[in-house]
Amino acid sequence: MQIKLEHITADYILGPIHSPKVLNDVSLTLPSGSFTAVVGPTGAGKSSLLKVIDGILMPGSGRVHVGSFTFPGIMTDKH
């Protein structure tokens, strides 16, 4: 199934740890049946990106499409 992220912005908060803008305006499309690697240095947002796709971390803005399901960010404008 296709996975599509549109203008995702996310902050990471875990107890006293607050990292603003771990993801900032991220857009990507992963076609159905494709293989994709997420690579980068420590703190680049790899785990946060996967948590957004999994629904573990709610994006502050943007939209996540997984197959036929769409999950809007918390602050996404609904006009």
The 10 Å Cβ neighbour count of residue 3 is 16
Examine residue 79 and state whether it is found in any structural domain, yes or no: no
Predicted structure pTM score: 0.82
Examine residue 78 and state whether it is found in any structural domain, yes or no: no
Q: Would you say residue 79 has pLDDT above 50?
A: no
Nearest Cα to 35, choosing from 13, 9, 3? 3
What is the biggest distance separating any 2 CA atoms in the chain, rounded to whole angstroms? 39
Examine residue 54 and state whether it is found in any structural domain, yes or no: yes
The domain of 36 spans 3-72
Both tokens of 36, joined, read: 């994709």
Percent of the chain predicted with pLDDT > 90 = 62
Report how many domains make up the chain. Answer: 1
CA distances from 41 to 38, 44, 45, 51 (A): 10, 6, 9, 17
